[in-house]
Structure 1
Amino acid sequence: MKEYSYSQAIDFFKNMPHFIPPKGGGAKKDYFSLDAELMLLEKLDKPQNKLKYVHIAGTNGKGSTTSYLASILNEASVVTGAFTSPFLYRYNEMFKVNGIDISDEEFAKVFSEVKPVYDELAEDGFFVSEYEFLTVMAFMYFLKKGCEIVLLEVSMGGRMDTTNVIPAPLVSIITPISYDHMTILGNTLTEIATEKAGIIKTGTVVVSATQEPEVQKVLRDTCKSVNAPLDFVEPAQIISRDIHGQRFGVSEGLQYETTMLGTYQIDNATVAISAARKLTEKGYHITEESIRKGIANTKWFGRFTLLSDNPPVIIDGGHNRQGAKVLRESLETYFPGKKVTFVLGILADKEVDVIIDTLAPIMKKCYTMAVPNPRTMDPQALAGMIKERGIEAEPLDSKSTIEDIKNQSDVVCLAGSLYLISLFDKA
């Protein structure tokens, strides 16, 4: 077997199509067919069937909910793998075991095991896509590491997502569903929810965040059709919050603290708590103390994260209409009555008008910038759209640094895309 280096593996992925249907056999009109991926897994002795899962789908909150649940399981000493996307800095971030990224050496080793089989299929005209290849690597890696549970985050949709090749998971989580990726998933909440509900299988139990009525109906109908129990998590009671943390209570009278900011993070934490309890019912030893410590110790950079004080600088990866809505709600909650200076970068295929209109009422001024992604919207064009709303806007250039903006602002918010987060140091 040829041993590939880490740099060779990364170069391979960088040259693969991203979110584009594969060539040759396996491509389907409605996005990806999973045929090629399933063929690859078959040749590798079906590693996906040898693991236990929590499957997480939804529009917003998947990453935070996964992070909360991973932290809880870590406190409970459960060997936990987590496969998440997108990565912000390196591919390694997508593969975590007990919160630690896969090493370069391990990445190269697993890649080297999958690549020859990928080549065999390619010779026969079956081209596995980038995310299919990465998902297969995840199964192989987590199996090698002896993971007791794998948290599997859906990349896009659900029904035809590359992660939806697994047997029935222990728990299926549905985070809030809203409008996003409409060219692929559909133009109505019912269509989008139907795609995301495609992860629900006979044998799983489903935990869902609060949803819109149309989404609730889809989830209820889907769960009924496959005989899967469904629980909608009741909203938590907010006890206290400030710019450094939040305290909340759940229906059982228990209280928890989190340093994660943003009004929506309480809902994500509550869903993770409910999922942890479902796992306890299935035999995993997860104490109340593990849940409490797990929630308190969760970190997730880029989700309404406070970068600095005086003035407050917030960074948030919200990138669709629901993300913009909860971002505005959070800013209005933490900084009542204050106008916000935004640094905004958005992908051109998002609902740019909706995002701008949602944030406009609290905008003092907006600086625009390119997102480090080929799909980025031109900063000049974005600034023009904001000016049309009567708000001062200009592209961020070398004449205006973040420090300059801070000196002229009461509150600064960097937002519009998860990919934007990679431009700013976690420190």
Structure 2
Amino acid sequence: MPIDLSLGRVTQLLTVLGNPQKFWKCIHVAGTNGKGSVCSYLSHILESSNISTGRFTSPHLFYPNDSININNRPISRARYDYEFRKVKELNERELIGATEFELLTCTAFYVFAQFEIEVAVVEVGLGGRLDATNVIPGFDGEWGVLVSAITKIGLDHESLLGNSLTQIAKEKAGIIKESVPCVIDGSNDTEILRVVKDVAFQNNCKLFETFPRRAAVFDQQVPLLGEFQKSNLAVALKVADILRSKFNYRITEQAITNGVRNTKWPGRLQRLTATIRKQRLDLIVDGAHNGQAAIELSKYLDTLRTLESPLTFVIAVTEGKTLTPMLAPLIKKQDFVTVTTFSSVEGMPWIKAMDCEILAREIRKFTSNVTVQEYLEGALINAAQFSQSPTVPLIVCGSLYLAADVLKFVEKTSIP
């Protein structure tokens, strides 16, 4: 079942499961870009503080069980299959009609209760107000949301969330709970901040704005690339501050440093090496899939450009995406682009790659140097032939699903 935003079905299914969300506390994270990174920073800081931690993020990168982590390790595929099947059978028996994401959310919450975690870091799937994860109320002294966090908000999923930043901000701000503190990335647009402040005021919520300078002390220790990660880290650090000051969690400065240093979030501005037919390829792999993410990626790529030198891209995009805001910041007239597709996404049959010829036609508005190679290996080989400099990596972007395919390919080809 495709996307259908509502809280009724997930509430009903969790009730049948015995309300597993009542057995742990929660940090809830929404936003258009950066929320996964914030979740990863937080879960690593919590683990470094010896706090038993669950993490639920979506979509999965490699396999569905990747979405559910206990102390930063995915649960086993066998455990995932067993628990997901149990939840799905209950859904069918009770005629609830939950969506795939609602089934996944309930599975994660059920697994967290079984592992007896103390705190779960939960990423919103889509939007916020009607997202399945928003079924968890504010902390009541025993369970619920301790802190909410909102990262950078931009245009994405307009058909579901609205066509303006104001509309989308209202949906994201829907995770704000009565009297529960909330942290927001202060680099958001003024109109977004105004909307979020209004919702916070209506809910008697203390709102904290963060800025990149808060993370400056970690400049040499952040393993995730890109200037925007300072904004993400600043949000995570403020959440950790609140956990210490308001809820008396023992999170030391050393634990924070260790957590930040150990943070991993693959497929997001990640540099790696692939070997194809004995040819070494240096790659930058990024799941940038909307205009805001493309702007941040382009800022990083500008550090690689020299004068009018071209960059070489491999791009695939999910069907239905608005292309101009994503392509305009990235592609210059001198660049070379190979258009490709990504493989089917397990558990999400409605996700499909955009037709190569349609995507290529749009990219030709920005550069005439466009070729099509439907399959990934051929696309990488083709792109390597156009690369103008052995010291500048190929850039693979446009979809997290393409990033996942590349990471799987690199892992497979690196095995002796």
Sort the TM-score into its range (normalised by shorter chain).
0.7 to 0.9
1:406 matched to 2:406? The reply is no
Maintained 8 Å contact 2:314/2:397: yes
Secondary structure, counterpart of 1:342 in structure 2: strand
Q: For residue 408 of structure 1, report the CA deviation from its aligned partner.
A: 3.8
CA distance in 2, matches of 1:324, 1:62: 16
Q: Paired residue for 2:268?
A: 303
Counterpart pick for 1:394 among 361, 367, 371: 371
What's the Cα RMSD here?
2.1
Please state if 1:367 is matched with 2:338. yes
**Structure 1 gaps, min length 5:** 1-16, 22-31, 238-247
1:97-176 alignment, distance < 5 Å: 97-122=70-95, 126-168=96-138, 169-176=145-152
Structure 1 CA distance for aligned equivalents of residues 338 and 379 of structure 2: 10
2:216 aligns to what? Answer: 249
Secondary structure, aligned partner of 1:68: helix
State the partner residue of 1:245.
none
Q: Give 1:403 deviation, angstroms.
A: 4.3
Structure 1 residue aligned with 2:49: 76
User: Residues 371 and 311 of structure 1: is their aligned pair in 2 closer, same or farther, counting only changes over 3 Å?
Assistant: closer
| Aligned: 1:18 with 2:32 | no
Q: 1:284 aligns with which of 246, 249, 272?
A: 249
**Which consecutive residues of structure 2, in runs of 5 or more, have no partner in the other structure?**
139-144, 275-279, 345-350, 412-416
Contact 1:179 1:189 in 2 (8 A): yes
Partner amino acid for 1:350? K
2:341/2:374 contact within 8 Å kept: no
Alignment correspondent of 1:35: 8
- Distance, in Å, in 2 between the alignment partners of 1:211 and 1:135 is 28
Q: Of the candidates 147, 164, 188, which is equivalent to residue 164 of structure 2?
A: 188
Partner of residue 418, structure 1: 400
8 Å contact kept, 2:27–2:148: yes
Give the equivalent residue in structure 2 for 1:271: 235
In structure 2, relative to structure 1, the CA distance for the partners of 1:397 and 1:188 (3 Å cut) is closer
The answer on 1:332 being equivalent to 2:309 is no
Displacement of 1:401 in angstroms is 4.8
CA deviations 1:54-77 (Å, max 9, x no partner) are 000000011111111111111111
Provide the rounded CA distance (Å) in 2 between the counterparts of 1:228 and 1:381.
46
- Residues 50 and 264 (structure 1), Cα distance of their counterparts in 2 relative to 1, 3 Å cut: same
Match of 1:12 in 2: none
Amino acid at match of 1:346: V
Partner Cα separation in structure 1 for residue 6 and residue 97 of structure 2: 11
Q: Distance in 2 between matches of 1:321 and 1:64?
A: 18
Letter paired with 2:404: S
Deviations 1:206-250 (Å, cap 9, x if unpaired)?
A: 11112101110011001000011101102227xxxxxxxxxx625
- Is this contact kept in 2: 1:49–1:167, CA < 8 A? no
Given that residues 371 and 377 in structure 1 are in contact (C-alpha distance below 8 angstroms), is that contact kept between their aligned partners in structure 2? no
Aligned ranges 1:203-218 → 2 under 5 Å: 203-209=179-185, 210-218=187-195
Cross-structure match for 1:6: none
Aligned to 2:196: 219
The match for 1:261 is 225
Question: Would the alpha carbon gap of residues 339 and 50 (structure 1) be closer, same or farther in structure 2, given more than 3 Å must change?
Answer: same
CA contact (8 A) 2:184 2:210 kept: yes
Deviation at residue 39 of structure 1 after TM alignment: 1.2
| CA apart distance, 1:416 | 0.2
> For 1:342 and 1:113, how far apart are their aligned partners in 2?
43
Instruction: Give the alignment's TM-score, normalised by structure 2.
Output: 0.87
Post-superposition Cα deviations, 1:354-406, rounded to whole Å, max 9, x if no partner, equal 21222123751100011335432111221122223343101125795524533
* Structure 2 residue 324 is matched with structure 1 residue 347: no
The runs of at least 4 aligned residues of structure 1 exceeding 6 Å deviation read none
> Could you tell which deviates more after superposition, 105-114 or 168-177?
105-114
Q: How many angstroms does 1:289 deviate by? A: 0.6
Q: 1:199 to 1:397 in 2, by over 3 A?
A: closer
2:230 partner letter: I
Deviations 1:22-69 (A, max 9, x none): xxxxxxxxxx22112111112222111222000000000111111111
Amino acid at match of 1:144: Q
Per-residue deviation at 1:351?
1.5
1:315 aligns with 2:288: no
Amino acid at match of 1:197: A
- Shift of the 266–235 alpha-carbon distance from structure 1 to 2, 3 Å rule, reads closer
CA separation of 1:159 and 1:397: change in aligned 2, threshold 3 A: closer
Equivalent residue letter for 2:259: G
- The TM-score with structure 1 as length reference comes to 0.85
How many Å separate the matches in 1 of 2:70 and 2:259?
15
Distance 1:396 1:266 in 2: 36
The code of the aligned residue for 1:183 comes to S
Aligned to 2:32: 59
CA 1:333–1:119 in 2, change beyond 3 Å: closer, same or farther? same
Give the Cα separation in 1 of the matches to 2:367 and 2:383.
20
| Cα distance in structure 1, aligned partners of 2:18 and 2:367 | 60
Partner SS for 1:257: coil
- Looking at structure 2, the residues matched to 359 and 99 of structure 1 have their Cα atoms a distance apart, in angstroms, of 33
Match of 2:325, as an amino acid? Answer: V
SS at match of 1:370: coil
Question: 1:134: Cα distance to partner?
Answer: 1.1
